[in-house]
């Protein structure tokens, strides 16, 4: 994870917005650290503030930061199966502030893929593809979910064809089959949006099964697009030749903030050791989402954390976390 630092979205030191962001990020870290180690990247000038809100078990690492969405700016950890022993590696994608958006800064964050990999003690592979970790999901058996408005965004990858994108992703992730979704949630195309990240739309819970965000309100702008996404997933075939089982995860009942649609989504959760850390919105559907997550992730505790402030700044629980899987034992 990365600790919120003063910038265009969080505002300046001492602002209520920055304090709220830090409290929200800390709430997530403090849940996860009860189940597995947590390392928090932090600007040196923010270290005292971080220590004041974080569980003392959270390990702080001094790194220069522009922002705090480590799912997107950090590396993707993979398992290298090429030798006699399985080893961890990290893929550092090109990062340019979600398509060089006017409010974004990425002078430091564009180096985080390499810096995090080195801190973790693993080899790093630098990709020429511009994308973020929230822009794809994999099933672990060769299938990857993508969205056309992210990987094919001309402000991210000008001139890249769909085939070229797939080739690069398959080479880096070891996948063989890409399922393309046409777009993300409506609010994700607002000023501080990502232009269609899949991690608020759909994710694999295990090979062959995917949960998908649905919008029950027919008057909401996401109702029809998410119905189309669910249908694409139901008819899709994964890398093993299976039709996907689709589990619907309805959106919270509160669909707008100050008259504008929000992209609140229960799909955007973190899967950890013996735990699922999900998003809560003080909404009647929080309990329904918790029940669905408990069903699709049997044997794990389901802990919901208030994610309204995280979404207010542009993302959710999945967006602010990045897992480093353990290396599997030989055999």
Which residues are known to be catalytic? Answer: 319
* Tokens standing for residue 172: 């880096």
3-state secondary structure 127-157: EEEECCHHHCEECCCCEEEEEHHHHCCCCCC
* Tokens standing for residue 230: 């669910």
* H or E element that contains 271: strand 270-272
- In this structure, what is the dihedral angle of CA atoms 67, 149, 229, 248, given to the nearest 10 degrees? 0
* Tokens standing for residue 184: 């993300």
What are the distances in angstroms from CA 67 to CA 46, 228, 301? 12, 33, 30
Closest by Cα among 259, 281, 277, 258 to 268: 277
Decide if 37 contacts 283 (C-beta within 8 A): no
Compute the distance between CA of residue 248 and CA of residue 265 in angstroms, rounded to an integer. 12
Residues with Cβ within 8 Å of residue 194, at least 6 apart in sequence: 72, 98, 132, 134, 135, 150, 184, 188, 314, 315
Decide if 88 contacts 324 (C-beta within 8 A): yes
CB atoms within 10 A of CB 81: 10
């Amino acid at each position: 994870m990365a600790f919120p630092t003063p910038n265009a979205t969080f505002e300046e030191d001492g602002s209520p917005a920055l304090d709220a962001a830090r409290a929200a990020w800390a709430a997530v870290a403090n849940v996860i650290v009860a189940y597995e180690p947590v390392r928090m990247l932090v600007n040196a000038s923010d270290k005292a503030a971080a220590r004041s809100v974080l569980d003392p078990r959270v390990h702080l690492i001094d790194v220069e930061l522009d922002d705090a969405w480590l799912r997107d700016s950090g590396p993707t950890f993979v398992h290298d199966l090429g030798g006699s022993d399985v080893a961890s590696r990290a893929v550092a994608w090109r990062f340019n502030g979600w398509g060089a958006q006017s409010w974004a800064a990425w002078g430091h964050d564009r180096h985080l893929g390499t810096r995090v990999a080195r801190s973790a003690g693993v080899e790093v592979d630098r990709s020429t593809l511009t994308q973020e970790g929230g822009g794809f999901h994999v099933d672990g058996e060769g299938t990857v979910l993508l969205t056309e408005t992210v990987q094919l965004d001309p402000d991210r990858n000008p001139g890249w064809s769909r085939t070229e994108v797939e080739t690069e992703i398959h080479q880096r992730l070891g996948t063989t089959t890409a399922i393309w979704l046409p777009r993300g949630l409506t609010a994700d195309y607002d000023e501080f949006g990502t232009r269609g990240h899949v991690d608020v739309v759909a994710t694999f819970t295990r090979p062959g099964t995917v949960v998908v965000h649905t919008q029950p309100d027919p008057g909401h702008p996401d109702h029809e697009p998410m119905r189309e996404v669910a249908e694409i997933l139901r008819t899709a075939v994964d890398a093993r030749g299976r039709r996907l089982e689709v589990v619907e995860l309805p959106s919270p009942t509160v669909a707008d903030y100050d008259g504008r649609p929000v992209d609140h989504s229960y799909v955007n959760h973190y899967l950890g050791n013996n735990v699922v850390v999900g998003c809560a919105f003080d909404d009647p559907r929080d309990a329904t989402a918790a029940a669905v997550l408990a069903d699709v992730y049997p044997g794990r505790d389901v802990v919901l954390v208030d994610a309204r402030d995280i979404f207010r700044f542009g993302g959710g629980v999945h967006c602010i976390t990045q897992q480093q899987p353990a290396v599997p034992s030989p055999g």
